[in-house]
Copies of this chain bind each other. A is one copy, B any other.
């Protein structure tokens, strides 16, 4: 396999973008990445999108967006793995370059979520879980994560305050991110007094509904060194799955797909968790970040709560987690999130993150998750 690097990244505006269509949002991100990479064409492109059908009445986005970019007849492929669709889009682009099939590949992610009402959005998101065995019986995504939180609290003594600390930390980081949907700090008290969604998950424990897109340009490392002053090497690309239904898992408080993907990723990169400078992880709910840091081996099993409480994962801590603000503050257009994590990793490794910069960043990890952890995609990046 050829070694692979990222030479350009771009984001659209993120938020409630009723005045923009999905094609405008996506094209903004794609053109920014292409401009950032200083290339005049791409050979192929991938689009991560969770539910074009239910959110927008539009599937076939690979062809539509290649056309929109004015770069047809290049191959345009849509990939989907629920909220991990963006990470998988990046991974397919990585493989297309690594294989030698294509040289300059655009990896993108997109979701336009706010054109449908709340009930329709809740239904669309529920298609990430097991419809027949979970959702038909009334459970929603906040409900599924709430059950995971309850088990984690029961088993490990994780506290309501520790959950809130995840939101406090990520909003503090997001307040320094000009691209974030919610650029305001929150206190633990505000989190714990916000509206109940699914006990113990309150409004400020949940990531928002967002319109947005993200893009990255991927090329062989050798070419990257010629085209870019700051190429970022992709040191590992891993993907793993777990039982989609919570009831089928040995342990509802453990993210096996993340643990499996992390093991493979560390092996590929030849490093361990302590070598990382920072992580961007899938904090769709506060409990998710607590469980993810455990599965990534950043702390012992069951110690995700104390980790955030200790400040270890804060900016300036020993292992900053979600310097971008995470899904919680930056926003979560589900198909775009995985590629936006790559955007943050690249910007951090370039040292271009201003107030939220992780000092001396050398290795960064991105962890993108689908459903309640039925799929995980992990990438590790190194300053080349």
With known contacts A63-B375, A99-B98, A76–B127 Cβ distance under 8 A: no
A1 to chain B, nearest CB (A): 5
A82-B47 Cα distance, complex, nearest whole Å? 14
Measured between beta carbons, the chain B residues less than 8 angstroms from A129 are: 60
Measured between beta carbons, the chain B residues less than 8 angstroms from A80 are: 52, 59-62, 78-80
- Contact check, B370 vs A63: say whether CB atoms are below 8 A apart: yes
Measured between beta carbons, the chain B residues less than 8 angstroms from A95 are: 92, 95-96, 99, 101
Q: Interface extent on A, as a size class?
A: 35 or more
A61-B243 Cα distance, complex, nearest whole Å? 12
User: Chain B residue with minimal CB distance to A100?
Assistant: B1
- Contact check, A78 vs B76: say whether CB atoms are below 8 A apart: no
User: Chain B residue with minimal CB distance to A259?
Assistant: B73
Measured between beta carbons, the chain B residues less than 8 angstroms from A77 are: 79, 81, 88, 92, 239
- For A58, A256, A371, the residue with the greatest tally of chain B CB atoms inside 10 Å of its CB is A58
Identify whether the interface residues of A are mostly helix, strand, loop, or mixed. mixed
Could you say which of B79, B99, B240 contacts A78, with CB atoms under 8 Å apart? B79
Measured between beta carbons, the chain B residues less than 8 angstroms from A130 are: 58, 64
A1-B101 Cα distance, complex, nearest whole Å? 8
Measured between beta carbons, the chain B residues less than 8 angstroms from A292 are: none
Could you say which of B62, B79, B244, B257 contacts A73, with CB atoms under 8 Å apart? B257
Q: Which residues of chain A from 59 to 98 have any CB-CB distance to chain B below 8 Å in the complex?
A: 59-64, 66-67, 72-82, 88, 92, 95-96, 98
- Contact check, A73 vs B127: say whether CB atoms are below 8 A apart: no
- For A60, A67, A127, the residue with the greatest tally of chain B CB atoms inside 10 Å of its CB is A60
A66 to chain B, nearest CB (A): 4
Could you say which of B50, B54, B78, B243 contacts A81, with CB atoms under 8 Å apart? B78
- Contact check, A67 vs B243: say whether CB atoms are below 8 A apart: yes
User: Chain B residue with minimal CB distance to A52?
Assistant: B127
Sample of 13 more A-B contacts, CB < 8 Å, known A56-B131, A75-B241 = A52-B127, A53-B53, A59-B127, A59-B128, A60-B244, A60-B371, A64-B244, A73-B257, A74-B241, A75-B239, A78-B79, A99-B101, A101-B237
Q: Please list 18 pairs of residues, one from A and one from B, whose beta carbons are closer than 8 Å in the complex, sorted by A's number.
A: A1-B99, A1-B101, A50-B59, A53-B54, A54-B54, A56-B131, A57-B135, A58-B127, A62-B81, A63-B257, A63-B374, A63-B375, A73-B256, A75-B241, A76-B241, A92-B92, A95-B101, A98-B100
Query: A interface vs B, CB < 8 Å?
Result: 1, 21, 44, 50-54, 56-64, 66-67, 72-82, 88, 92, 95-96, 98-101, 123-124, 126-132, 135, 237, 239-245, 248, 256-257, 260, 370-371, 374-375
